[in-house]
A and B are shown apart, each in its own frame.
Chain A
């Protein structure tokens, strides 16, 4: 086995984190027209790591919630590198509740290394904010699709991904722990992150096989540049998202919520097919 093949998972991780890769804001700019940003959680402040607002996907009014890492160094600092504080999750929840009220579907765009581990974040209830989102999203009476565009870091990503569908960009990853964190805890050696990445089954393809994601969207070779191929990815995404939302909107509230419950209920259930798929995938 060559190293390139052996560590294919970590190469995805590197690509997911790569400088110049489209940010949450880029997706909003390319997919959503008339985007109007709304700020604040009405409790503590406005977390710039989360960008939220409304706009149109084609002709359909939609709520968009995106973690945004920022493009320039200045933006990155302002957006806290895409790692939300509790107020970011509370802002997201506020927008979701408004979406429910006005019967708008919700698109969550996820790109975060995780919820921020800091003093203020802990003191203001990072865990409580995430826990509240999980519970509220489980019963949100409007369709939710989460699109993973880069890093999907653990509970901080899940708090925006209790969704009816999870779409993954080809080089996006989604994991319970970073490969570095996993390696340093399990093997006391963060440098074994490549091995850890392989073991964690965090690539888009792995997540499809496990039933965690429904769709993988292929990326052009040079997705970091604004090319015609990159534009085409957005056109394709627009189609896919629009069609999926139309499909989800046909469901009754009861059906939608029952299926969302079942979507997560299956993980770890002894008789679920997901396990067979996973085993076959190995």
Chain B
């Protein structure tokens, strides 16, 4: 089989023995290699990890779990988790956020939702689909939220809406900028209309923060669709996107089913949105931290803490 030659650097002969691949029984751990969906090359998972979860061959941006993304973005050890469900061993607001997750357990009694939540917690190791908190980016104190695709496709329910709303309210009060990373399949339908209401609720908090003259920068990652795009993803003062990210209101399949034709290549991708004037720039993951440090610095005369 031809796969073998594509492994860039087998560590030793024991790891990939001749014939193993042909038998369809690779003698390797399942997670040692990943296949790049863009260039289709087999890559060492460790190489991808060391390269900020970006394909070293073609630059494809792999999905990143929220906690890992924060690690890549903020000053070392500066992240203090607040408001996100699961952060709550504190008092007051943090405690309220922790309670939000309890409240959101199954607000409209949707059948099977609790099991889905449990499975998502198991899979992601997180309590909900967003991490929020306070961190330093290039020394500048910043409120951040990072959504998590691993958690029920990044769908937004009441717990996420509540956490992000509390973050913006806190940022407005403390006069801090907000940096957000979005990834979402849309609203969480198991919470029915209450998930839709989160779009309005977060928009209200973004508006109040904005009216205080404070900066909100948002980075759209693959994929950002539905109710998240139609609210806080598109409400940043500065809107950035990762290369190749799918960004839209309706999902591609819904559109194809509606118009009964295939969508053109590159449709709803970050590159097209840039051309159409809906985002400020596309920033490679490697450059995001530097970009944001510069951006925050240019707005930092407004920061008083």
Contacts and interface: CB of A to CB of B under 8 A. Distances in A.
Contacts of A27: none
Contacts of A123: 272, 276
Interface stretch (B59-67, B118-126, B131-139, B204-212): B204-212
Interface string B203-238: 110111011000000000000001101111111000
A186 B152 CA distance: 12
A131 B162 contact: no
A126 B226 CA distance: 10
B194 A131 contact: no
Contacts of B250: 115, 117, 121-122, 126
Contact of B200 (A121, A174, A175, A264): A264
B200 A162 contact: yes
A118 B159 contact: no
B229 A131 contact: yes
B199 A122 contact: no
Nearest to A199: B110
6 contacts: A123-B272, A123-B276, A124-B276, A131-B234, A201-B108, A267-B201
A135 B248 contact: no
A261 B204 contact: yes
B104 interface: yes
A268 B201 contact: yes
Contacts of A130: 230-231, 249
Contacts of B208: 261
Contacts of A282: 109
Contact of A268 (B197, B255, B263, B276): B197
B211 A134 contact: no
Interface of A: 115-119, 121-128, 130-132, 134-135, 138-139, 154-155, 158-159, 162, 174-177, 181-182, 185-186, 199-202, 207, 210, 212, 260-261, 264-265, 267-271, 275, 278, 282
A256 B92 CA distance: 27
Contacts of B199: 134, 155, 158
Chain B contact patch, size range: 35 or more
Given A134-B200, A199-B111, A282-B109, A127 B230 contact: yes
Contacts of B258: 116-118
B200 A207 contact: no
A268 B104 contact: yes
Given A119-B263, A268-B159, A269-B162, A158 B200 contact: yes
A127 B108 contact: no
Name the 4 nearest CB pairs between A and B, nearest first: A268-B158, A117-B250, A270-B99, A131-B234
A210 B249 contact: no
Contact of B189 (A138, A174, A177, A271): A177
B183 interface: no
Contacts of B107: 268, 275, 278
Contact of A119 (B193, B232, B235, B267): B267
B84 interface: no
B58 interface: no
A138 B230 contact: no
A223 B288 CA distance: 57
A181 B257 CA distance: 12
Contacts of A118: 255, 258-259
A249 B264 CA distance: 49
Contacts of B192: 175-176, 199-202
B187 A177 contact: yes
A138 B196 contact: no
Nearest to A115: B249
Contacts of B96: 269-271
Given A117-B255, A207-B193, A176 B187 contact: yes
A152 B235 CA distance: 23
A116, A128, A175 — most chain B CB neighbours (10 Å): A128
A270 B103 contact: yes
A121 B258 CA distance: 12
Contacts of A212: 193-194, 197
A177 B201 CA distance: 18
Contacts of A275: 103, 107
A135 B107 CA distance: 25
Given A123-B276, A200-B192, A267 B158 contact: yes
A175, A267, A269 — most chain B CB neighbours (10 Å): A267
B238 to A, nearest CB: 14
Given A275-B107, A278-B108, A127 B194 contact: no
Contacts of A269: 96, 100, 103, 162
B195 interface: yes
A138 to B, nearest CB: 4
B142 interface: no
B197 A267 contact: yes
Contacts of B127: none
